[in-house]
Amino acid sequence: MSGHSNWPEWVYIGVVICLLAYVGAEAWNVERLVDHAPAEAEIIKVTGQQWFWTFEHADGTKEIGELHVKKGQPYKFEITAKDVNHAFNIHDYVVLQDAVVGRVNTVWFAPEQAGEYTIQCREYCGLLHYNMRATLYVEEN
């Protein structure tokens, strides 16, 4: 018998395991909130093509170069591209998702303030890439 106790090591291991479990649970919860749009979210189909954005609402309304949404309403964007890869970005709402040919990516947001915001492409998509913009109009309910 050396008289050495292992209790401090076991306490240390227990604290580390508890911290890892807590951080993992929080990360899972945040990912769940970010990835899953609310059930009442309106779906808007977004298509990027050189060098403009088109939007199709659930009721069939189509918009080119501008998008009108209501303040406080959640929206789920189904994003794709027709020609080359693009990236759908609403900078003021921290919305950024790739628009890839043959694939539908999703992202959601709920605008909180009325106003005009810029939608732009964040993936170099050709010579007029800098001009691939649209306007988001968030309107009061």
Q: Band of the pLDDT at 5, cuts 50, 70, 90?
A: confident
> Around 108, how many Cα atoms within 13 Å sit in the side-chain half-sphere?
19
DSSP 3-state assignment of 28? helix
Query: What's the rounded Cα separation, in Å, for the pair 99 and 123?
Result: 9
Q: Quick: pLDDT tens for 18-60.
A: 999 999 999 999 988 888 899 999 999 999 999 999 999 999 9
At 1 the pLDDT is 55
**Residue ranges in 36-106 assigned as alpha helix (H):** none
Q: Quick: pLDDT tens for 94-141.
A: 999 999 999 999 999 999 999 999 999 999 999 999 999 999 999 998
Nearest to 89 by CA among 105, 101, 103: 105
